[in-house]
């Protein structure tokens, strides 16, 4: 089941700074993440967009509706990313925590913006 979520398509510099997510593309870990398919024009200018979320073969899966991949074709997740109760519940879990790593963006099925599969702690 695909669940639309609103996320910020920017990322922290490396190492992270107190300025937050200022680097173009990637994914910003903002809490709370909302289950919604709506982004205002102002939010879009700030880098927000929608991704379709689900769990596939034990991995958290996102299909992007806005460019997320960095030039090297990856999306960095620098810290553990607790998706929050609303998203976890919509996916059928008590808790979903994405693990840090450099995750590949795959364009074969979704050539415009791609998809990624993330290692995650999935708690029923």
pLDDT tens, residue by residue, 31-73: 567 899 999 999 898 888 899 999 999 999 999 999 988 889 9
State the pTM of this model.
0.86
Structural domain count, the chain: 1
Name the nearest CA neighbour of 63 among 25, 117, 1.
117
Contact 100/120 with Cβ under 8 angstroms?
no
What value does the mean pLDDT take over residues 87-100? 95
Contact 98/83 with Cβ under 8 angstroms?
yes
What value does the mean pLDDT take over residues 83-106? 94
Per the prediction, the chain carries an average pLDDT of 86
pLDDT at 15: 56
> Range of 98's domain?
3-123
pLDDT at 76: 86
């Amino acid at each position: 089941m695909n669940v639309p979520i609103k996320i910020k398509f920017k990322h922290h510099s490396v190492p992270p700074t107190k300025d937050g997510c200022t680097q173009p593309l990637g994914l910003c870990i903002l809490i709370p993440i909302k289950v919604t398919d709506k982004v205002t024009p102002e939010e879009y200018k700030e880098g927000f967009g929608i991704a379709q979320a689900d769990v596939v073969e034990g991995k958290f899966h996102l299909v992007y509706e806005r460019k997320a991949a960095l030039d090297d074709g990856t999306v960095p997740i620098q810290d553990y990313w607790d998706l929050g109760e609303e998203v976890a519940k919509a996916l059928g879990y008590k808790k979903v925590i994405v693990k840090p790593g450099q995750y590949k963006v795959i364009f074969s099925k979704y050539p415009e913006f791609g998809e990624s599969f993330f290692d995650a702690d999935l708690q029923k």
